Chain A
Amino acid sequence: MGKRVGMEVSIAASEAVRLANVDVIAAYPITPQTHIVEHLSEFVNNGELDAEFVPVESEHSAMSVCSGSQAVGARSFTCTSSQGLILMSEIVYCTAAMRLPVIMVLANRSLSNPISIWNDHTDVMSIRDCGWIQYFAENGQDVFDHVLISYRVGEDRDVMLPVIVNMDGFSVSHVIEPVELVDQETVDKFLPPYKPDIVLDPAHPVTMGAIVLPSCYTEAKKAQDEAVKASMPTILKGWQEFGDLTGRYYHPIEEYRTEGAEVLLVTMGGIGETAMWAVDQMREKGRPVGLLKMRLWRPFPFEEFRKAASKARMLVVVDRAISYGGPGGPVASELRSALYNEPKRPLVANFIAGLASRDVAPFDFIEMVDRAEGACKKGMEPEYEIYGVRE
C-alpha cells in the first residue's frame, strides 16, 4: 500500500511524473498549471529526478520538444492550460498523428476573451479532435493515478498514442486533499521502460510526419481513427491492472446511485463530486436521480454510455464549454448523437454551467434537474441553457 498524505493536487501530479521516471520535461508556466512545472524543475534541480528539463520559450516549443524527444525514445511530459494549449495546438495534432505517446496534464482553464484565469473546459474542447486519448479526473487521486496509467496505456505497442489528463484548474489543481501515493517498486512493476519499435536514430534513418499526396491522406486518417478506437481494450486493461495493484479501479463512465434512476445527471471533471452530494440529497427525498461521470472522453465509450443511459427517462447533462451558435455544450451534443439510433432513448437536457469557475453548488444541480423536469412536464423538448446568467 502507498503512503496516504495531504498534498496539493498539482504536487501530486508532479510526484506521479517523478515516479514515472520521465526522461524529458518541456513546459512553459501558465496559471493554473504553474505549480506542476515549478515542482518538476525543483525535482530535476535537486537531483531527485534524472531528467532533462527544457525551459522552453513557448508552449508551441514545449510540445515540439516533447514530440522530438519522444520520437528518439525518451519518455516525455508536458503540462499547460488555456492560451498555452491553443498556442501549442498546431503540434498537438502532429504528436498524435505521428503516434508519439507524450503525456500532458491539462489544468483546464477558460479561453480568452474576456481574459480569465479561472476554470472550465473551453480549452480542451478547442482541441477535441486532436487524436489524443483524453481522460477527465475529478480529484487529486484520479490525477495522480492517471498520470501513471497514461504512460502505461499510451506507450503500449498496441496503442502508441499521446494522452491528456484533464484536471480542473484551481478547484482540483490547487486543492490540498489526501492522496494515496504508489511506491516506486509498484510503479516499476506497472510501468515497463519505454521501448518503441521505431525511433529517430541517425544510424537507422526514418521519416516521421512526412507529406502525403491525396492518394494516401484518407488512408492515414482512417488508420488514425482506427488506432484511437482500438486503444479501448488496452485502456480497460490498464485500469484493471492498476486496480489489481492499488485497489483503485476506474471505468470509462463512473456510475453513482444509478439503480432505479429515472433521471441521470451527467458530468465530466471535478464537479462530479459535488453532483454526488446533490444526488444524495435528492435520493433522501425519494427522487429517483442518479449520476454518470464521464471519465473517458476519447476514445468515446459508446457501448458503456448507451448501456448506462438506456434505463433513464432523461439525462441532465452539465457542460463546461459552449459551441457558439451550435448545439449547446459539446458533451451533450455528443451524447445526443450517441443515442440517436437507439430504439429507446432518454430526453437530453443540457445546461452550460461553471464557466470561469462560477461556483456550481449542490443546489444548482437540484435546480437544473427541477428545470429539466418542469420543461418535460410541459411537453417541451429540453434544449440547452446557459445556467445562472445574471440579467
Chain B
Amino acid sequence: MIEIRFHGRGGQGAVTSAELLAYAAINEGRYAQAFPSFGPERRGAPVVAYCRISDDPIRIRANISEPNLVVVLDYSILRIVDVTAGLKHPHGILVTDSKFPGEKVRADLNIKGKLAAVDATRIAMEVLGLAITNTTMLGSLVKASNVIQKDSLIEPLKERFGRIADKNIAAYERAFKETVVLDG
C-alpha cells in the first residue's frame, strides 16, 4: 500500500488531486481511497488531502501519518507547515512546487531523501492562466514515482474538467517532462 499526503492552500485543488489519483488507480483495477482532512477549510489557508493506493482491499480508515509520498502544491506552504512530518525514511519522496532548482530546495529544507521539484505555479499560469497547481503537480508526482501509469490519469482528467480538460492534460504532461528528480 502506498500512502500519499497532499499539502496545498484552499482553492488550489489539493483535494481534487487526491481524488483524481484515486480514480486513476481504481480504473487500473486496483484499490484506492481519497479523502480530505475535514475541517473549516478556507480559500488560501493550508489544507491537507490524502490518498491510499493498493493492490489489495484497503482496510484502514484513518488519517495518513507516515506517508510514502508528500506532494506540496504551493512552495510557500513549505515555510509554515512541517510537510515532511512522518515521511517514510529512507524511501519516502517529497514532490514539490518550486521556483528554484531541486538542490536549493534540498538545502532550504534540509531534506535528505528523494526529492522531486517543478515550477508548477509557472506552468499552471502559462497553460491554464490560473495558479491552480493540482493537475500540474500530479504530472510531477507520476514522474517521481510509479504510483500509477501515466496514461491512467487522462480519463479522470477528461471527466473532471470537460471542456478545459485539454489544458489540464497539457499542464500534467508538461510537469511530467519538466520535473527534476533528485535521489537522496
Contact = CB atoms under 8 A, between A and B. Distances in A.
A174 B26 contact: no
A175 B35 contact: yes
Nearest to A361: B62
Nearest to B27: A6
B65 A361 contact: yes
Interface stretch (A86-94, A145-153, A197-205, A268-276): A268-276
Contacts of B65: 361
B38 A177 contact: no
Given A171-B35, A175-B34, A178-B32, A276 B59 contact: yes
A360 interface: yes
Interface string B1-32: 00000000000000000110011011101011
Q: Which of B25, B38, B65 has the most CB of A within 10 A?
A: B38
Nearest to B33: A177
A174 B61 contact: no
A172 B61 CA distance: 8
A176 B156 CA distance: 13
Interface string B40-79: 0000000000000000001111110100000000000000
A359 B48 CA distance: 15
Contacts of A6: 22-23, 25-27, 32
A170 interface: yes
Interface residues of B, number: 22
B36 interface: yes
A357 interface: yes
Q: Which of B23, B26, B63 has the most CB of A within 10 A?
A: B26
Tell me what chain B mostly uses at the interface: helix, strand, loop, or mixed. Answer: mixed
Interface string A112-145: 0000011000000000000000000011000000
B32 A274 contact: no
A177 B26 CA distance: 8
Contacts of A139: 61
Interface in A227-274: 270-271, 273-274
Nearest to A9: B35
B38 A170 contact: yes
B23 A176 contact: yes
A176 B36 contact: no
A357 B33 CA distance: 17
Contact of B61 (A32, A117, A273): A273
Contacts of B60: 273-274, 277, 362
Given A6-B27, A170-B38, A357-B38, A176 B22 contact: yes
Contacts of B58: 177, 273
22 contacts: A4-B26, A6-B26, A32-B38, A139-B61, A171-B35, A171-B61, A174-B36, A175-B35, A175-B61, A176-B18, A176-B22, A176-B23, A177-B31, A177-B33, A177-B58, A273-B58, A273-B60, A274-B60, A274-B61, A274-B62, A357-B38, A359-B62
Interface of B: 18-19, 22-23, 25-27, 29, 31-36, 38, 58-63, 65
Q: Which 4 A-B pairs have the closest CB atoms?
A: A6-B26, A176-B34, A276-B59, A170-B38
